[in-house]
């Protein structure tokens, strides 16, 4: 099977690596890809938000399955165009991707599907925003309604900061603060059946101890030894299946990956957000643990054949650490030279270096975006996986770059509901 992967991040690198392990895969192509993905796939430079351009490329190379990694092409309707051309695609159509594209739409579908989430108000004026802040009280949660790459959310006890964020966005969702640890739980769906993957935990704040602004994600681990044993089945039954059923009922079925970002609150599981694609960096810990062949699984999802299928994971643990460029997430400085450990020392370690925002300029590997590399360690337990990931991370040199040192350190705080004032922006 010939597969075309759309995207250029650490997530797509992990997807390509996992696809390559499935015997059904004969060729992997990627657009646009990155220097790490180039070792697994043939790269193509096209406009990946242009559905016709993606369809033409797929037809020219005789692609059997297109896998769309990021949200931007999904929300632009690239999957719609591929389906019109009868090309199997893993990723939802534009209408279904609105579960990620609009927080207000996601809330409306959750209400219809009776899925528990934070109580919220959609506000377009400073007066409405002020009233909603006072209704819910601190800590205040103010979200830009549109796409913001994980950076459009402000959680703060400072009312003036909350009001300022609302004023800076055209339309905001202001909502109740959810206490409790966050979990990322992904369901793979063909539009009717949905199968949960193992839970993972992502670290959203830029600095150790959950300090600093929100980012796209600074690290992740899986599985979660502290999570309730039945979390997958509970989330499938109370969250994923009701959402898939509701989208099908509306005539806009969701076929692809439904990412539930949830909080285990003192009042039960509540949804923080949905995404319409694999999470980054959670994918870099989930796929190295996946034992079900990925290409076959994604083809089954793309062709309506998931009923009765299973998704299996090894009992190993995986930890991933994101190395970000100087200034990320606020003022990213690009162009820093990246020096990786030698092939020899890498081959002795069981760590994998996934490329994210890297590029090659005049034969040198340099930083091109905010998140540069994701380093995954796999081991018999989290402690071992963590040691492997950090041992390789410490051998990488990039001027000004930074990473969190507390990924998967599993301090008590990550297992217990956070105290209200621990979750604010500085
Ligand atoms: P989102 O883009 O909706 O995932 O929000 C980014 C991050 O903001 C989440 O991962 C949480 O850490 C935090 N957050 C969002 N909504 C809430 C909420 N209602 N209560 C507490 N924290 C939240
Ligand atoms: N890890 C967060 C995201 O993918 O949005």
Q: Please state the domain extents for the chain.
A: 2-90, 121-175, 180-302, 317-398
69 lines ligand 2 (CB under 6 A): no
Which pLDDT band holds residue 150 (cuts at 50, 70, 90)? low
Please report the pLDDT score of residue 214 as a whole number.
87
Please report the pLDDT score of residue 420 as a whole number.
37
Pocket around ligand 1: residues whose beta carbon is below 6 Å from it? 118, 141, 143, 150, 153, 155, 175-178, 182, 204, 214, 261, 272-273, 423
pLDDT in tens, 347-369: 788 899 999 999 999 999 999 99
Count the alpha carbons within 13 Å of 354 in the hemisphere toward its beta carbon: 31
Select 2-90's CATH number: 1.10.150.80, 3.40.50.20, 3.30.360.10, 3.30.590.10.
3.40.50.20
3-state SS class at 89:
strand
pLDDT tops 80 at residue 69: yes
> What atom in ligand 2 is closest to the CA of residue 281?
1
- Give me the CATH topology for the region 121-175: Dna Ligase; domain 1 (3.30.1490)
Please report the pLDDT score of residue 151 as a whole number.
60
Q: How far apart are CA 195 and CA 154, in angstroms?
A: 32
Nearest to 69 by CA among 15, 29, 142: 15
Mean pLDDT, range 207-231, rounded to an integer? 95
Greatest mean pLDDT among 120-124, 265-269, 374-378 lies in 374-378
Q: Both tokens of residue 39? A: 């070792």
pLDDT tops 80 at residue 245: yes
Q: How far is the CA of 422 from the centre of ligand 1 (A)?
A: 13
* Lowest mean pLDDT segment, chosen from 366-370, 406-410, 420-424: 420-424
Q: Ligand 1 pocket: which of 99, 106, 155 to mutate (most atoms <8 Å of CB)?
A: 155
pLDDT in tens, 290-299: 999 999 999 9
Nearest to 44 by CA among 36, 32, 34: 32
Does residue 4 or residue 169 have the better pLDDT? 4
pTM greater than the 0.85 cutoff = yes
Q: What are phi and psi for residue 234, nearest 5 degrees?
A: -65, -45
Please report the pLDDT score of residue 370 as a whole number.
98
* Lowest mean pLDDT segment, chosen from 253-267, 295-309, 410-424: 410-424
Q: Does domain 180-302 have CATH number 3.30.470.20?
A: yes
Q: How far is the CA of 278 from the centre of ligand 2 (A)?
A: 8
> What atom in ligand 2 is closest to the CA of residue 216?
2
Do domains 2-90 and 317-398 share one topology? The answer is no
Which pLDDT band holds residue 148 (cuts at 50, 70, 90)? low
246 lines ligand 2 (CB under 6 A): no
Cα–Cα distances in angstroms (integers) from residue 21 to residues 29, 105, 295, 333, 337, in the given order: 15, 37, 9, 35, 31
Asked whether the beta carbons of 124 and 170 are under 8 A apart, the reply is yes
Please report the pLDDT score of residue 410 as a whole number.
80
* Lowest mean pLDDT segment, chosen from 100-104, 106-110, 292-296, 401-405: 100-104
C-alpha angle 275-280-281 in degrees, rounded to nearest 5:
140
202 lines ligand 2 (CB under 6 A): yes
Q: How far is the CA of 10 from the centre of ligand 1 (A)?
A: 22
Asked whether the beta carbons of 194 and 259 are under 8 A apart, the reply is no
pLDDT tops 60 at residue 30: yes
Closest C-alpha to ligand 2, atom 3? 279
273 lines ligand 2 (CB under 6 A): no
Closest C-alpha to ligand 1, atom 4? 273
Mean pLDDT for the chain overall: 94
Select 317-398's CATH number: 3.90.600.10, 3.30.460.80, 3.90.660.10, 3.40.50.920.
3.90.600.10
> What atom in ligand 1 is closest to the CA of residue 177?
20
């Amino acid at each position: 099977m010939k597969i075309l992967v759309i995207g250029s991040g650490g997530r797509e690198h992990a997807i390509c690596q996992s696809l390559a392990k499935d015997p059904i895969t004969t060729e992997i192509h990627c657009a646009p890809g990155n220097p790490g993905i180039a070792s697994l796939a043939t790269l193509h430079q096209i406009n990946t938000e242009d559905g016709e351009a993606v369809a033409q490329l797929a037809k020219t190379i005789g692609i059997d399955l297109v896998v769309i990694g990021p949200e931007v092409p999904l929300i632009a309707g690239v999957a719609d165009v591929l389906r019109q051309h009868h090309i199997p695609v893993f990723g939802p159509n534009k209408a279904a991707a609105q579960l990620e594209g609009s927080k207000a739409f996601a809330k409306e579908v959750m209400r219809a599907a009776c899925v528990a989430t934070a109580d919220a108000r959609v506000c377009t004026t400073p007066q409405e925003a002020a009233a909603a802040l006072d209704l819910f009280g601190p800590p205040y949660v103010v979200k830009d309604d549109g796409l913001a790459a994980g950076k459009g959310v402000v959680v703060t006890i400072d009312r003036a900061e909350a009001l300022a964020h609302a004023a800076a966005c055209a339309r905001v969702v202001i909502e109740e603060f959810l206490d409790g640890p966050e979990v990322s739980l992904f369901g793979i769906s063909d539009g009717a059946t949905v199968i949960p993957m193992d839970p993972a935990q992502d670290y959203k704040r830029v600095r150790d101890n959950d300090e600093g602004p929100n980012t796209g994600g600074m690290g992740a681990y899986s599985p979660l030894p502290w999570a309730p044993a039945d979390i997958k089945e509970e989330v499938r039954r109370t969250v994923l299946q009701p959402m898939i059923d509701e989208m099908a009922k509306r005539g806009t079925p969701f076929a692809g990956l439904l990412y539930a970002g949830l909080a285990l609150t003192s009042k039960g599981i509540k949804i923080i957000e949905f995404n319409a694609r694999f999470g980054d960096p959670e994918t870099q810990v989930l796929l190295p643990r996946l034992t079900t062949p990925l290409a076959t699984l994604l083809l089954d999802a793309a062709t309506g054949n998931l009923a009765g299928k299973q998704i299996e994971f090894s009992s190993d643990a995986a930890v991933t650490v994101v190395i970000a460029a100087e200034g990320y997430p606020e003022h990213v400085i690009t162009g820093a030279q990246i020096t990786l450990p030698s092939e020899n020392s890498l081959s002795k370690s069981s760590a994998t270096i996934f490329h994210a925002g890297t590029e090659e300029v005049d034969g040198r590997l340099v930083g091109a975006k905010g998140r540069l590399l994701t380093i995954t360690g796999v081991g018999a337990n989290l402690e071992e996986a963590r040691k492997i990931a950090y041992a390789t991370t410490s051998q990488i040199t990039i001027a000004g770059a930074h990473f969190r040192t507390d990924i998967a350190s599993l301090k008590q705080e990550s297992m217990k509901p956070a105290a209200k004032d621990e979750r604010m922006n500085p």
